[in-house]
Amino acid sequence: MRFYEEKDYDALSQRAANIIAAQIILKPDCVLGLATGSSPVGTYKNLVAKYENGDLDFSQVKTANLDEYKGLTRDNDQSYYYFMHQNLFDHVNIDPANTNIPDGTKDDSEAECAHYEDVIASLGGVDLQLLGLGHNGHIGFNEPASEFPQATHCVDLQESTIEANKRFFASADDVPRQAYTMGIGTIMRAKKILLVVSGQDKADIVARAFFGPVTPEVPASILQFHPDVTIVGDQAAFSKIPH
Ligand code: F6R
């Protein structure tokens, strides 16, 4: 695992965007696995700036997002579809036909999840998967459990995740109770992984996930077994790891 400690959120966002830009430059038709949440917002801003400066071309890039709330329509401003368009897709020259996000409006969870795995396989797999880190160690919506879920599946969100995400909704009651998410197996099959994390409130989970035992109780800990992981964090998030 490679750790880049940056002084603050702006610096970590620049670093993460540089790593993604390098991937696009080296392989213009690469497949990017993308994440939502607050952690990658700055990374996307920097990628948009690079596109606007003429330094990046997204015309052949393909994407597959990690997850989506089940039950939210695409025009709901809390859907991850909406988020991706607001933060990245609408501001760069990506072909919308090349972007993929689980469809939260599909009721048949098994069919939608199997379809999403097929989509990723048909893209030839993910070259670089961007991740954030939940306070309980979740990646995507893979919550602490007794085993690592393999493929894309439908999850019941845990109270702590509903609590953490309610800031984006009118109230906790409005947070969807289920989501579609890539499985741990899906994530681990990405050729490279880039995780962005910031803030003192993530310091404990960074230490547990990357310096503690590998256990499905801390889903992100599995990344210790991936051959090509880069963690980009700020000083606060890295304040409890060995230096
Ligand atoms: C987002 C996702 C989640 C977030 C995690 C951290 O697509 O899958 O795992 O990455 O909840 O969220 P933030 O960055 O808001 O702290």
Judge whether 136 counts as a catalytic residue.
yes
Query: What pLDDT is attached to residue 229?
Result: 98
Query: What pLDDT is attached to residue 7?
Result: 98
Sequence-ordered alpha helix ranges (H) in the chain: 9-26, 41-52, 80-87, 109-122, 159-165, 184-188, 203-211
| pLDDT band, very low/low/confident/very high, at 110 (cuts 50, 70, 90) | very high
**Mean pLDDT over the full length of the chain:** 96
CA distance 129 to 57: 18
- 3-state class (DSSP) for residue 42: helix
Q: Is the CB of 67 within 6 Å of ligand 1? A: yes
In 109-157, at which residue ranges do the beta strands (DSSP E only) sit?
A: 128-131, 153-156
CA distance 91 to 32: 16
| pLDDT band, very low/low/confident/very high, at 160 (cuts 50, 70, 90) | confident
| pLDDT band, very low/low/confident/very high, at 158 (cuts 50, 70, 90) | confident
Quick one: average pLDDT of 159-178?
88
In this predicted structure, which of 103-112, 155-164, 208-217, 219-228 has the lowest mean pLDDT? 155-164
| pLDDT band, very low/low/confident/very high, at 36 (cuts 50, 70, 90) | very high
Judged against a pLDDT cut of 90, whether residue 164 lies above it is answered with no
Of residues 57, 135, 136, 217, which has the active-site annotation? Answer: 136
| pLDDT band, very low/low/confident/very high, at 61 (cuts 50, 70, 90) | very high
Quick one: average pLDDT of 53-62?
98
Query: What pLDDT is attached to residue 194?
Result: 99
Query: What pLDDT is attached to residue 135?
Result: 92
CA distance 153 to 60: 28
Q: What is the pTM of this model?
A: 0.97
Question: Which of 141, 153, 182, 205 most suits a substitution to test ligand 1, by most atoms within 8 Å of the C-beta?
Answer: 141
| pLDDT band, very low/low/confident/very high, at 129 (cuts 50, 70, 90) | very high
Judged against a pLDDT cut of 90, whether residue 208 lies above it is answered with yes
Question: Which of 41, 131, 166 most suits a substitution to test ligand 1, by most atoms within 8 Å of the C-beta?
Answer: 131
